[in-house]
Structure 1
Amino acid sequence: MLFLVAALLLLGVAMGSVAHAPLPVSLVAAAVIGVWLVVFTVRERHSRRHSS
Protein backbone atom coordinates (compact mmCIF):
# COMPACT_ATOMS: atom_id res chain seq x y z
CA MET A 1 0.00 0.00 0.00
CA LEU A 2 2.84 2.36 0.84
CA PHE A 3 4.43 1.58 -2.54
CA LEU A 4 1.19 2.58 -4.30
CA VAL A 5 1.02 5.87 -2.39
CA ALA A 6 4.66 6.64 -3.23
CA ALA A 7 4.10 5.78 -6.91
CA LEU A 8 1.05 8.03 -7.13
CA LEU A 9 2.95 10.84 -5.40
CA LEU A 10 5.84 10.55 -7.86
CA LEU A 11 3.39 10.43 -10.77
CA GLY A 12 1.76 13.61 -9.55
CA VAL A 13 5.10 15.36 -9.24
CA ALA A 14 6.13 14.23 -12.73
CA MET A 15 2.84 15.28 -14.30
CA GLY A 16 3.00 18.65 -12.57
CA SER A 17 6.50 19.34 -13.85
CA VAL A 18 5.55 18.29 -17.37
CA ALA A 19 2.58 20.66 -17.29
CA HIS A 20 4.91 23.59 -16.64
CA ALA A 21 7.67 22.59 -19.05
CA PRO A 22 7.68 23.73 -22.67
CA LEU A 23 6.32 21.22 -25.20
CA PRO A 24 9.69 20.48 -26.91
CA VAL A 25 11.29 19.69 -23.54
CA SER A 26 8.42 17.34 -22.68
CA LEU A 27 8.65 15.60 -26.05
CA VAL A 28 12.42 15.11 -25.75
CA ALA A 29 12.03 13.73 -22.23
CA ALA A 30 9.28 11.37 -23.40
CA ALA A 31 11.46 10.18 -26.28
CA VAL A 32 14.43 9.55 -23.98
CA ILE A 33 12.27 7.59 -21.54
CA GLY A 34 10.74 5.60 -24.41
CA VAL A 35 14.14 4.67 -25.82
CA TRP A 36 15.33 3.68 -22.34
CA LEU A 37 12.31 1.42 -21.89
CA VAL A 38 12.84 -0.23 -25.29
CA VAL A 39 16.53 -0.86 -24.53
CA PHE A 40 15.63 -2.28 -21.12
CA THR A 41 13.02 -4.58 -22.67
CA VAL A 42 15.40 -5.85 -25.34
CA ARG A 43 18.14 -6.50 -22.77
CA GLU A 44 15.75 -8.36 -20.46
CA ARG A 45 14.40 -10.56 -23.24
CA HIS A 46 17.89 -11.24 -24.49
CA SER A 47 19.16 -12.24 -21.05
CA ARG A 48 16.16 -14.48 -20.35
CA ARG A 49 16.56 -16.34 -23.62
CA HIS A 50 20.22 -17.08 -22.97
CA SER A 51 19.86 -17.98 -19.30
CA SER A 52 17.13 -20.62 -19.70
Structure 2
Amino acid sequence: MLFLVAALMLLGVVLGTVAHAPLTFTAVAAVVITVWLGIFALRERHARRHTSAH
Protein backbone atom coordinates (compact mmCIF):
# COMPACT_ATOMS: atom_id res chain seq x y z
CA MET A 1 0.00 0.00 0.00
CA LEU A 2 2.81 2.41 0.85
CA PHE A 3 4.48 1.50 -2.44
CA LEU A 4 1.30 2.52 -4.25
CA VAL A 5 1.22 5.89 -2.48
CA ALA A 6 4.88 6.50 -3.29
CA ALA A 7 4.38 5.50 -6.93
CA LEU A 8 1.34 7.76 -7.31
CA MET A 9 3.17 10.67 -5.69
CA LEU A 10 6.15 10.19 -7.98
CA LEU A 11 3.87 9.99 -11.00
CA GLY A 12 2.07 13.13 -9.85
CA VAL A 13 5.34 15.02 -9.40
CA VAL A 14 6.61 13.98 -12.81
CA LEU A 15 3.45 14.29 -14.87
CA GLY A 16 0.59 15.91 -13.00
CA THR A 17 -0.49 19.14 -11.49
CA VAL A 18 1.43 18.28 -8.33
CA ALA A 19 4.52 19.42 -10.22
CA HIS A 20 3.20 22.98 -9.96
CA ALA A 21 2.60 22.77 -6.21
CA PRO A 22 5.36 23.44 -3.69
CA LEU A 23 7.32 20.37 -2.59
CA THR A 24 6.32 20.88 1.05
CA PHE A 25 2.63 20.83 0.11
CA THR A 26 3.15 17.66 -1.91
CA ALA A 27 4.99 15.98 0.97
CA VAL A 28 2.30 16.97 3.49
CA ALA A 29 -0.45 15.72 1.18
CA ALA A 30 1.39 12.42 0.70
CA VAL A 31 1.75 11.99 4.47
CA VAL A 32 -1.94 12.77 5.04
CA ILE A 33 -3.00 10.25 2.39
CA THR A 34 -0.63 7.62 3.80
CA VAL A 35 -1.97 8.08 7.33
CA TRP A 36 -5.56 7.97 6.07
CA LEU A 37 -4.93 4.74 4.15
CA GLY A 38 -3.14 3.24 7.15
CA ILE A 39 -6.04 4.02 9.47
CA PHE A 40 -8.48 2.58 6.94
CA ALA A 41 -6.41 -0.62 6.64
CA LEU A 42 -6.24 -1.03 10.41
CA ARG A 43 -9.99 -0.50 10.76
CA GLU A 44 -10.68 -3.05 8.03
CA ARG A 45 -8.34 -5.59 9.60
CA HIS A 46 -9.94 -5.02 13.01
CA ALA A 47 -13.44 -5.39 11.56
CA ARG A 48 -12.56 -8.62 9.72
CA ARG A 49 -11.10 -10.18 12.85
CA HIS A 50 -14.28 -9.48 14.80
CA THR A 51 -16.66 -10.68 12.09
CA SER A 52 -14.69 -13.85 11.25
CA ALA A 53 -14.47 -14.90 14.93
CA HIS A 54 -18.26 -15.09 15.31
RMSD of Structure 2 on Structure 1 (CA): 1.5
Give the percent of matched residue pairs that are identical in Structure 1 and Structure 2: 62
Question: What runs of 5+ residues in structure 2 fail to find an aligned partner?
Answer: 1-7
1:20 matches 2:20: yes
Aligned residues: 40
Instruction: Could you tell me which runs of 5 or more consecutive residues in structure 1 were left unpaired when the two chains were aligned.
Output: 1-10
- Corresponding position of 1:8: none
Segments ≥4 residues shifted beyond 6 Å: none
* Per-residue Cα deviation, 1:26-45 (whole angstroms, up to 9, x for no partner): 00000000000100000000
Greater RCO, CA 8 A, separation 6+: 2
State the match for 2:40 in structure 1: 40
